[in-house]
A = this chain, B = another copy of it.
């Protein structure tokens, strides 16, 4: 089976797993107060050049978004602005609202939030009959695999500063965002860890989709958002007893550039795949292979003939996508740190 279904079905990169094996029989302080969490947090502070950053390790993306946003929205009527395609809007079973906070949804063509979108919300929210937007949520890469440029992030930063909003970035696939070709070759310079440490009030470095067994590293830069995080993590069920499991994993992932190397592999495999599909499409236009959405990281959305879907499904694990024409069906292909050239070639041979 060629696996192009998602980037979170394998276990961990072997180095990460080995580190867990190596430390398994150590007795450390529980609840994330161990030396491994401390070391991993230090690595992050170094990488982003923000020695003042607060770092917390949590077990998953929804948990991190929920815990962080509910903590940052410090009064019950504070809300967060998101593109309506944002993971928190659509794929977290209402986890933010379950904490009592509204999300201000902004219609978005490509899944990105813009300063105009922020202005539209702020224009309306004028008095105590409305919620009070206090922050924005963005994902990099987005849920459809696109990336924000430096220029775009700076423009959002400006809009946030204008309106007193915090800027929170969901980095579930940050390894892929930072190592995407489009980012590395951007005319305005690449977004990197150091830039994120400047432009964001908080963000998380995703582990689950980038080589860890599980785990995300929440990084808080704005002092006014740092308080009371440990009790809030505990209260929401996110503080695991053996917190060092997270520290050990991130300490390994972030050493020797492993984290970014893993993202780069996912992107490279996706590019190979995309190039191959384009070649097939050009070679045989009758097939009608077509890209549904722009391609920038490790997710590819294409139309394939409907009759091909069950054939592919025999040999490939993938998901369909809710775009359908009379003759064609959308499918989503996702590569990961573990995808190999052989898998890509095997898939292309099937087209």
Contact = CB atoms under 8 A, between A and B. Distances in A.
Interface of A: 1, 3, 5-6, 8-12, 14, 17, 20-21, 23-30, 59-64, 66-67, 70, 74-77, 79, 90-95, 97-103, 105, 107, 123-124, 128-132, 208-209, 213-214, 227-228, 230-232, 234-242, 245, 317, 322, 338
Contacts of A242: 8-11, 208, 213-214
14 contacts: A10-B25, A11-B23, A20-B213, A75-B231, A76-B235, A77-B93, A79-B97, A92-B235, A93-B235, A97-B97, A99-B100, A128-B230, A208-B240, A214-B245
B26 A11 contact: yes
Copies in the complex: 4
Contacts of A235: 76-77, 92-95, 98
A175 to B, nearest CB: 15
Contact of A129 (B5, B79, B93): B93
Nearest to A7: B241
A97 to B, nearest CB: 4
Q: Is the interface of A mostly helix, strand, loop or mixed?
A: loop
B9 A29 contact: yes
A221 to B, nearest CB: 20
A78 to B, nearest CB: 9
A64 B124 CA distance: 24
A63 B67 CA distance: 13
Contact of A94 (B12, B101, B230): B101
Contact of A239 (B62, B79, B94, B240): B62
A235 B240 CA distance: 18
B128 A231 contact: yes
A343 to B, nearest CB: 11
Residue in A12, A29, A62, A232 whose Cβ sees the most chain B Cβ within 10 Å: A62
A322 B123 contact: yes
Given A17-B20, A231-B128, A240-B208, A79 B60 contact: no
Residue in A74, A238, A317 whose Cβ sees the most chain B Cβ within 10 Å: A238
A26 B123 CA distance: 32
Contact of A63 (B75, B103, B238, B245): B238
